[in-house]
Amino acid sequence: MAAAPAAPPHTGGVLALIPGTPGLLTVAALGVVLLLVLIIKVRLQPFVALLVVSVAVGLGAGLSVTELFGTVQRSSAVSLIESGMGGILGHIAVIIGLGTMLGAILEVSGGAEVLSGRLLALFGEERAPLAMGLTGLLFGIPVFFDVGIFVLAPLVYAAVRRGGRSVLRYALPLLAGLSMTHAFLPPHPGPVAAAGLLHVQLGWVILMGAVCGIPAVLAAWGYAAWIGERIFVPLPREMAEASAESRAAVVAERRAAGVRTPEESVALTVVLAVIGTPLLLILAATFSSVALGEGAVRSALEFFGHPFVALTIALLLAYWLLGVRRGWSRGSLEAVSTSSLGPVGNILLVVGAGGVFGAVLGGSGVADALARTFHDVGLPVIVLAWLISVVLRVAQGSATVAIVTTAGIVRPMVEHARYSQPQLALVIVAVSAGSIFASHVNDGGFWMVAKYFGIGERETLASWTVLESVLSVAGFAMAGLVALVV
């Protein structure tokens, strides 16, 4: 690892009585405490909380108002807040937007039902939990975690009716697959945001996320099989009936709009092609820069494998194969795509505010002080990244906040060292793994799992919370092992 960074430009700011690095570290510590208080106690929206903390840390570290906000007279000068927000959103907004629309088309077209139906037929009733796990793993690549639960929960109910076993036996493998892909793989917001903050190619994030995430999800499936035989949770009939009514309403609405419904089955090969196309294109572009010299072939692969282009191709492919060829009108395609973008706004604002926080840490000298201090501690960056992410996750509940905050803190540690792209991707895996540790009562995902599958709070803590911890620890352990050889 490279030597510790040079001295920071600011030396304590408002906390002038604590000069130099101690003052900047005090500012950083108070900033994190303030962030947790605003989110946990005050219940302030995370986007607003991150902005408030960014301004407070900047002023506390000695930045001027002009450095933070710019001036009216010098409109061409870019402030730290503008550069932090614009820098990260310019990278991830397009990716998250395209990925969200792609997931919506797959969901509405009935891709999940086709995928799970084929897998259940292939594995049989005794291996139904494995089929549900693979469904969550594959379908979770293009769709958000909460959308995946809504779409796939009825499949769990149907499996419980057929098998007569505990809901946990079928739900937990499914949830493990959804959670792993949501935490470890693009185009989900967490890994994409971390890649933008740490300047890592998405191809490497996909590769290292899969290398570390697949063994982690296998470990989680092992725990799911064990706990599913020890805690019996009956079929949540009220929730199953409500879900059926909700889905019936969605189907009726789509039929009225001219959208074909999941009953009119789509080919499994089409579903897999749409999911796999962007991943393969991005990976091809990444490795062309390693395996090929300059030339037309490499240029073409890099063009088609750029995340913006790859996801656009996949979305247009989905429009044609899952929409137009099956009778969808152009208005239906537009309606489904537009409605899917509603929930994305909050995610983008939180990630953008995380970019502001990182820019303030860098511009104020706090980041350099943190980098020197962590360098002196002697722990590997990958370990520190996981520990910081775990603390933030457990304290305030939001995985996205944990990721963007941790990435902002970790960035100076890796910027001043000669880390390769694969090594940086493993740091992102560690951050992402930490962000899912011990989902409990301050996490919306905890209550979503409990509600959709009719699991009591104690049973949810014993099953879902532990499952997430197994995923986190196993993913981090794999990242650490791989880091020893790359």
- In SS3 terms, 104-171 reads as HHHHHCCHHHHHHHHHHHHHCCCCHHHHHHHHHHHHCCCCCHHHHHHHHHHHHHHHHHHHCCCHHHHH
Closest CA to 356 of 64, 49, 77: 49
pLDDT (0 to 100) of residue 7: 39
pLDDT (0 to 100) of residue 319: 93
Domain membership flag for residue 400: no
pLDDT (0 to 100) of residue 345: 84
Angle, alpha carbons 410-415-419 (nearest 5°): 95
Lowest mean pLDDT of 73-82, 198-207, 262-271, name the range.
Answer: 73-82
- The answer to whether 13 and 27 are in contact (CB under 8 A) is yes
* Number of structural domains in the chain: 1
Lowest mean pLDDT of 130-144, 295-309, 373-387, name the range.
Answer: 373-387
Q: Quick one: pLDDT band at residue 14, thresholds 50, 70, 90?
A: very low
Mean pLDDT of 349-355: 86
Domain membership flag for residue 91: yes
- The answer to whether 388 and 176 are in contact (CB under 8 A) is no
Domain membership flag for residue 278: yes
216-225, 229-238, 273-282, 351-360 — which one is most confidently predicted on average?
216-225
Task: Return the HEC string of 225-241.
Answer: HHHHCCCCCCCCHHHHH
The answer for residues whose C-beta is within 8 angstroms of residue 289's C-beta and 6 or more apart is: 298, 302
pLDDT (0 to 100) of residue 19: 47
pLDDT (0 to 100) of residue 78: 62
Long-range contacts of 21-27 (CB under 8 A, 24+ apart): 21/369, 21/372, 21/373, 24/61, 24/364, 24/365, 24/366, 24/369, 24/370, 25/366, 25/369, 25/370, 25/373, 27/57, 27/60, 27/61, 27/364, 27/366
Q: What gap in Å lies between CA 20 and CA 35, rounded to an integer?
A: 23
pLDDT (0 to 100) of residue 260: 54
Mean pLDDT of 198-218: 95
pLDDT in tens, 50-84: 899 989 988 888 888 888 887 655 544 568 888 88
pLDDT (0 to 100) of residue 226: 96
Mean pLDDT of 439-449: 87
Q: Between residues 74 and 188, which one has the greater pLDDT?
A: 188
pLDDT (0 to 100) of residue 17: 44
- The answer to whether 462 and 231 are in contact (CB under 8 A) is yes
pLDDT (0 to 100) of residue 15: 45
- The answer to whether 204 and 425 are in contact (CB under 8 A) is yes
Termini Cα distance of the chain: 14
Percent of the chain at pLDDT exceeding 70: 88
Mean pLDDT of 184-207: 93
Which of 103-122 are b and which e, b meaning 16 or more Cβ less than 10 Å from the residue's Cβ? bbbbbbbbbbbbbbbbbbee
Mean pLDDT of the chain: 84
Mean pLDDT of 84-101: 86
Amino acid at 442: N
Percent of the chain at pLDDT exceeding 90: 38
Query: Which range of residues forms the domain containing residue 319?
Result: 87-225+236-340
Q: Is pLDDT at 447 greater than 60 in this prediction?
A: yes
pLDDT (0 to 100) of residue 255: 58
Q: Quickly list DSSP for 37-48.
A: HHHHTS---HHH
- The answer to whether 270 and 121 are in contact (CB under 8 A) is no
For the record, the structure tokens of 160 come out as: 């419980």
pTM: 0.82
Domain membership flag for residue 32: no
Domain membership flag for residue 156: yes
Q: Between residues 107 and 229, which one has the greater pLDDT?
A: 229
Q: Is pLDDT at 434 greater than 70 in this prediction?
A: yes
Domain membership flag for residue 105: yes
pLDDT in tens, 169-186: 999 999 999 999 999 999
Q: What gap in Å lies between CA 393 and CA 374, rounded to an integer?
A: 20
Tell me, what DSSP letter sits at residue 443? S
Q: Quick one: pLDDT band at residue 134, thresholds 50, 70, 90?
A: very high
Q: What gap in Å lies between CA 215 and CA 222, rounded to an integer?
A: 11
pLDDT (0 to 100) of residue 424: 96
Q: Is pLDDT at 11 greater than 50 in this prediction?
A: no
Mean pLDDT of 186-197: 91
- The answer to whether 279 and 206 are in contact (CB under 8 A) is yes
- The answer to whether 208 and 479 are in contact (CB under 8 A) is yes
pLDDT in tens, 231-261: 999 987 665 555 555 555 555 655 555 555 5
Domain membership flag for residue 152: yes
pLDDT (0 to 100) of residue 241: 58
Q: Is pLDDT at 428 greater than 80 in this prediction?
A: yes
Domain membership flag for residue 9: no
Tell me, what DSSP letter sits at residue 9? S
pLDDT (0 to 100) of residue 257: 55
Lowest mean pLDDT of 112-121, 388-397, 477-486, name the range.
Answer: 112-121
pLDDT (0 to 100) of residue 8: 43
Q: Is pLDDT at 34 greater than 80 in this prediction?
A: yes
pLDDT in tens, 294-348: 788 889 999 999 999 999 999 999 999 988 888 888 888 888 888 888 778 888 8
